[in-house]
Amino acid sequence: MAGFPGESWQERWEASPAALGPEGWVREGHAWLGAVANVRWNSAQSGLLCLAVADVLRLPLAWQFRYRTSNLRPLVERTRDPEGFARLEAAVDPKRWASTGGGRSRLALARIMLTKGGKLGDITAGDAFEYATELRKSGIDRAGSTLFYSWLRDLGNLPPDAPVTLRFLDRVTGQLTCEQLVDRHGVTCEPIRALLIDYLEERRPRLEYSTLDNLARALTRNFWSDLERHHPGIDSLALAPEVATAWKERLRTRVQRRKRPDGTVEETVVERADRAMLFIAVRAFYLDIAHWAVEEPGRWGPWAAPCPIKEAETTDRKRVKRVKAQMDQRTRERLPALESFTQAAADHHRYRRACLDSLLSVQPGKPFRIRDAMFVRTTNGDSAAARDADGNLLHFDLAEQRAFWAWAAVEFLRHTGARIEEMLEVSHHAMIQYRLPTTGEIVPLLQIAPSKTDQERVLLVSPELADVLSTIIRRVRAPPRRHDSARRRLRLRGTHLEPACTVAVPVRPRR
């Protein structure tokens, strides 16, 4: 570095080709070693790491992501801030500290310190967020984790108002503006971008947000951004016939990606199911502008153009019939396995119920056996948890609860044929009685609230369905046994059959 200009070693490093990336460092380093015969390459690598750890040089995150070495993290932990890492290790679970995810988190802390300088206590929330962002942008080191940020919070190094977690922090929540809806797909032509934003603003008062979101995606990503990608410089809605035909052909199919068991990704070209809906959105876009141009020629007149989509191209009857036939065939193929599936759900619930009864039959701290496995109940008498032979904590009550509601959902859907959203809306008020006018016999009925078809239905309750509903009601009405592991208590929701939860004490968000 002495041969490059600069007042500090950092400036000289940045002026050298080695600062552009590890490839340049290897190239320049070997060239330098050719002139200095008594220095080995391992020594040169160690010298670079020592300069970085001593804060003589600060290596950018992008540079470190491409530089593969196993000596970086141990060297930083031993020399830069040994007291801080020792305090962190004492606060972290030993298994988590020695795990693969723990090693990645420790490497993340070391990289941040080499980039920003200082010690472990000097890392800020902004440094952690920048690291997570640069890691996603790099596309090289995909084994990233945000566990290191939780460790910093546990140590108290971050202010109280710092975000609880880095997960999903960069994602926009809530409703986006029309400008944001258009800009997320990168429209290059500025006049067309302004037109799309103006059009969405005009349609927004009459549309719900999900419909507006889909409309913006259809007009930007699937229509205009696709045209700009294949026809750079296009700036008019008046499409040439060959341009419109090529766009329709591209829109006819899409690439479906599926991950194989070995981790590789399989790409398959399949027919696009929503092609007709996209054609309808684009056709409405052209016709709306043509109609509005009569009323406001100064605003919409310059953009009026012939619509490239004919009305016959928006019909989708054949595809709908094919999809319906495929759904029916899939149902017929899976129908023989229905009995085995329901029996497996019932057997799983009985097994979890037996495990919970075995746990509750012993005193806290005592061992018990389930089949060939030994467990030890925890010493907390108000807990229905136990540890296995490896020391793992298992919550038997939560497992039994999940198994019960899985069985109840399977049986309800099986005997009613209702949709999942319809099942979730069933309440005590949905169960009604009807007296036959001829015999006076009381017939139980189940009222299904309107959902997809927007029509209310009334189903006759069979004896099997009546047994399932009575079992659910008895369980909901039963007093809660205990607080669960999340410190939440069950309470009976006023009308619904499923249990709801109210937080008894603050619960730390799951990492």
Of the listed ranges 37-41, 141-145, 168-172, 469-473, the one predicted with least confidence:
141-145
Pair of tokens at residue 399: 């497992």
Which residues face 445 on adjacent strands? Answer: 432, 460
- Res. 248: pLDDT tops 60: yes
- Res. 261: pLDDT tops 70: yes
- Res. 409: pLDDT tops 50: yes
pLDDT band at 170 (very low <50, low <70, confident <90, very high): low
Kindly state whether residues 239 and 287 are assigned to the same domain: yes
Looking at residue 480, its pLDDT comes to 60
Beta-carbon neighbour count of residue 326 at 10 Å?
10
Kindly state whether residues 63 and 151 are assigned to the same domain: yes
Of the listed ranges 68-72, 109-113, 425-429, 443-447, the one predicted with least confidence:
68-72
Percent of the chain with pLDDT over 90: 32
Asked if residue 511 is part of any domain, the answer here is no
Looking at residue 218, its pLDDT comes to 94
Kindly state whether residues 410 and 444 are assigned to the same domain: yes
Asked if residue 165 is part of any domain, the answer here is no
- Res. 483: pLDDT tops 70: no
Looking at residue 141, its pLDDT comes to 53
pLDDT band at 148 (very low <50, low <70, confident <90, very high): confident
Placement of tokens 């008046």 in the chain: 238
Per-residue pLDDT, averaged over 455-482, amounts to: 84
Q: Which residues are within 8 A (CB) of 13 and not within 5 positions of it... i.e. 6 or more apart? A: 1, 4, 6, 19, 57
Asked if residue 400 is part of any domain, the answer here is yes
Looking at residue 221, its pLDDT comes to 92
Kindly state whether residues 371 and 436 are assigned to the same domain: yes
Output phi, psi for 186, to 5 deg: 65, 70
Of the listed ranges 103-107, 214-218, 224-228, 300-304, the one predicted with least confidence:
103-107
Kindly state whether residues 353 and 495 are assigned to the same domain: yes
Between CA 166 and CA 149 the distance in angstroms is 7
Kindly state whether residues 415 and 474 are assigned to the same domain: yes
pLDDT tens profile 117-137: 888 888 888 888 888 888 877
Asked if residue 35 is part of any domain, the answer here is no
Per-residue pLDDT, averaged over 5-12, amounts to: 85
Strand runs (DSSP E) across 234-381, as ranges?
A: 253-259, 265-271, 367-370, 373-377
Asked if residue 255 is part of any domain, the answer here is yes
Q: Which domain holds residue 363?
A: 339-503
Kindly state whether residues 483 and 356 are assigned to the same domain: yes
Per-residue pLDDT, averaged over 227-241, amounts to: 93
Kindly state whether residues 222 and 309 are assigned to the same domain: yes
Most confident of 19-28, 184-193, 373-382: 184-193
In the chain, % helix, strand, coil (3-state, to 5) comes to 55, 10, 35
Kindly state whether residues 149 and 215 are assigned to the same domain: no
Of the listed ranges 318-332, 437-451, 470-484, the one predicted with least confidence:
470-484
pLDDT tens profile 317-358: 887 888 889 899 999 999 999 999 999 999 999 999 999 999
The residue from 120, 155, 190 where one domain ends is 155
Looking at residue 300, its pLDDT comes to 95
Kindly state whether residues 308 and 380 are assigned to the same domain: no
Kindly state whether residues 137 and 186 are assigned to the same domain: no
How many structural domains does the chain have? Answer: 3
- Res. 490: pLDDT tops 70: no
Collapsed DSSP state (helix, strand, coil) of residue 293: helix
Query: Helix 275-295 vs helix 209-219: angle between axes, to the nearest 10 degrees?
Result: 90
- Res. 116: pLDDT tops 60: yes
Torsion of CA 30, 34, 38, 43, to 10 degrees: 0
